[in-house]
A = this chain, B = another copy of it.
């Protein structure tokens, strides 16, 4: 950033972020001013740290910004909310190219705008390692969908497909040059917060509990029922596998779908009587019924014959280490 200078860069970024409906005062003043809302508010923040959550060669600035937005906004989707305003805090070494910074800002801005929100402000700090902290302010639905409402007998559902991000990450880590590599890597690079689905589900009053899948189904499903005397039972053959896993052995694909993280799909529970309503709900993404909520604790995954599958101990996504 040294090539441009922080003050000039901040001014340029202010121009990159024009006033939008709902944002009364954008970047450049002490704080952003956002129009009042008749809804309760959702507030969430998420960080992407170089060497922990990404490596620089894996993503363009634009993709990094886009990813930062979707990872943070996914938490708004998981409450059934709508994105209103976004803050972007960047910490970066002075040697980081200004073009990359502009790309990050544009990536966040475009993704926020697509979601109906606006990049309203942020912060730029010098640091040794590159990181993005994205904060999203959203409107909550009348009844925000919490993690804690799953009932015995509920169905367990997921949006979209699973395992694609973990497979893409694996290819990035190993720098493998597979024929389908670029497509697969994109599954990791370009997560999509399921905002439309989350909002539609909450508006229809369908989910009893909902969360987004960041650490992998095996870990996250356990969180839905922790301490509640309930257990999640998943039928492995029902798992919707990402298309990019098609070339893998079934067991390997299933493993990625179960313990691979960063899919940012929604996991939710709903009463069986909601199946018809779910079949009618159009939210631009598939809903797949993958199991049920039963009495007990933790998570059980059943194979096609109804036998419990062994899950690796501590199964779930672990961040790669620098």
Contact = CB atoms under 8 A, between A and B. Distances in A.
Interface in A69-104: 74-76, 78-79, 81, 85, 87, 89, 91
A149 to B, nearest CB: 11
Contact of A49 (B79, B125, B147): B125
Contacts of A85: 41, 43
A135 B34 contact: no
Interface stretch (A137-145, A236-244, A252-260, A270-278): A137-145
B121 A43 contact: yes
B127 A129 contact: yes
A155 B123 CA distance: 30
Given A36-B38, A137-B137, A30 B212 contact: yes
Contacts of A39: 36
Chain A interface SS verdict (over half): strand
Nearest to A198: B30
A31 B75 contact: yes
Contact of A126 (B52, B146, B210): B52
A261 to B, nearest CB: 14
Interface in A13-54: 24-25, 28-47, 49, 51-53
A138 B121 CA distance: 14
B319 A126 contact: yes
A29 B125 contact: no
A133 interface: yes
Among the interface residues A25, A31, A76, which one has the most CB atoms of the partner chain B within 10 A? A31
> Interface size class for chain A?
35 or more
Given A30-B211, A144-B33, A43 B137 contact: yes
A46 B46 CA distance: 14
How many copies of this chain? 2
A257 to B, nearest CB: 21
A122 interface: yes
A292 interface: no
A88 to B, nearest CB: 8
A306 to B, nearest CB: 31
A122 B45 contact: yes
B36 A31 contact: no
Contacts of A208: none
B146 A29 contact: yes
A44 B24 contact: no
B36 A125 contact: no
B33 A41 contact: yes
B31 A78 contact: yes
10 contacts: A31-B42, A33-B42, A34-B42, A35-B40, A43-B120, A49-B91, A49-B126, A49-B127, A52-B126, A127-B129
